[in-house]
Structure 1
Amino acid sequence: MGEELWWTKHRDWLATCGYTLRPRYQADWTPSFTPDQDQDDFEDGVSIYKPVLDATRIVNGVEQFVILKRVPPRDGKEEVETFELLTSEPLASDPRNHTSPLLEVLQVPDEPEHRLLVMPLLRLHDDPKFETFGEAIAFFTQIFEGIQFMHEHHIAHRDCTHHNIMLDPTGMYSTPFHPIEQHMRRDWKGKAKPRRTRTQLRPRYLFIDFGLSRAYSPTDGDPPMDLPVRGGDKTVPEHVNYDEPCDPFAVDVYYLGNLIRTHFMMKYHGFSFMQPLVQDMVARDPSKRPKMNEVVARFKTIRQSVSCWKLRSRMVSRKEWRIVGFARSFGHWSRRLGYIVTRQSAIPDV
């Protein structure tokens, strides 16, 4: 409730900046639900508990759904600087840069030490689910080159974990999805269903949340050594000892390798072709992990070795029942034949 009160307190100022909050945060809001009803069943009952909120922005007469993130005074300064560095020229124009766009940085007038980062509304990278191995390989390609790009510019993300890698859903949905309950339509009139698949859309995957990120100087050493900061993945071997400096770039490599291991290899059949590379990326000894340049080079060879049939094949969950799988496979290959006829690439690169 405290976070929501902060946003309602600042709604009028945000309106002068061109940002409109949902009805729940307006002065004339009256709940559409009664005290004896479950408020989570209603659009205006969905609340937030983090310093992040959605808003609507009007650009040249067109509505744009955005996310506002309030950053604290201490850590926020470095987050803003890193985010602005990655989204400014000449870095912004590099196609390997997979940083979320930063649309604007607002300074809160009555709290000048706080800033609001304005970003486009995105979806978690695996929502909706990946369908084919080719779609997964396109995802691996983008996240590898995105972190390689940061490392080349001496920036370690330090939290490139599952919840900080997003999908740009532009063109994927025929009706807007709700910014908080993204499985629902924005108007709350049913489920939000994509009208285009990843194969058809060829989406970009983007990194967010630079609260733990840091830009290093080439004079800091190769690699630079820094005290551990724990991100969303708590399994990094060298983070056991908080007092011992470690290589933040090797931590990024571990995060990506463990993401693929836990969210693809352990959840789906058929990813054995990634085993040698991922095994090296999550080595307990960080000095034995490949650098991102080597990761990208080795992965390029791997993706060239995967057959077209495999690339177009359906990713099958390890928990899927065989009879269900048969029915899904029939529909899957019907769609894939259409993609072959229309010359949709098996790896939907951007």
Structure 2
Amino acid sequence: MDNVNGKQLKDVRYSVLDLSPIIEGSTIPNSFENTLSLARHAEKLGYYRYWMAEHHNMPFIGSSATSVLIGYVAGGTNDIRVGSGGIMLPNHAPLVIAEQFGTLESLYPGRIDLGLGRAPGTDQRTAQALRRNPEIDGHNFPQQLEDLRTYLDPSRSSTPRPVRAIPGQGLNIPVWLLGSSGFSAQLAGQLGLPFAFASHFSPNNTLPALDLYHRSFQPSDVLDEPYAMVCVNVVAAETDEEAEYLGTTLHQQFLNLIRGTEKPLQPPIENLEDQLTLQEHAALEQQLGSSIFGSAKTVKRKLQEFLDDTQADEIMINTQIYDHDKRLRSYEIVSQLFD
């Protein structure tokens, strides 16, 4: 997309995606402490929302019980919106999610977002353990979504439903669709819902999905016009060299996935390129091609280029850095670029 609207970084909202990373040599309770620390930091820095993602059976991600962590973060902050990026709806009964997020919205009114995805957020064996019913998969997502939205707003159904979400029924909880391909982009457009795209691990599909969302969009009682958020990996540091070094933690995370090696988040290393095969290098480029590593000057330039291309209404920042203080510093540097 061309920068026809002339959007600048200062014109868009900026938000946080947190996977509550489990660090090599640390503990899961410490991961949760770091999550709350980052959320409070982000709130002070002006980030608009703080989302956590549902993943399972991954030794470097602690946010599997996403709704529980959302309550923890919302209870430890004051104003920042808190939500899911996302809840993998096929893993759950829609009624349970309506009740969970109805509870969260009742506790923290006006601050809760419900982002929904249709992928399992894990491998197939773990998905089977979660779902128990092999017939439930992403193909059921549109009906599950409609069921969930009707639990929150019973007026969507022409006939009274005997089963109600209490709490949940009648609450205004923003529902987002999340995606890494075109399916959810088109569905979000057709339903007139906000859409968030996972460019942080599916960069090649970013522009086609956003184009499909905008072309499919139909105004609704939720939105008059499309609203798209795009998530991107960013590692910011004092110099380009330091950021590239810190970014090897993210590269190792995906490299371990490619190799089928299960490890917590690893410390950065020198000369990572020397350890890659040509196939691994190509796979990393395919998944992390939109990632931005650098000093404030470099990150500002690349983020503006990213905004020029996507014309996003909001940019969500995912930062996987081994050292928590350096992770906080990265988010601080990025926030100054948007201001």
TM-score, normalization by structure 2: 0.25
Bigger Rg, which one: 1
For CA contacts below 8 A with separation 6 or more, give which structure has more relative contact order.
2
More helix by share: 2
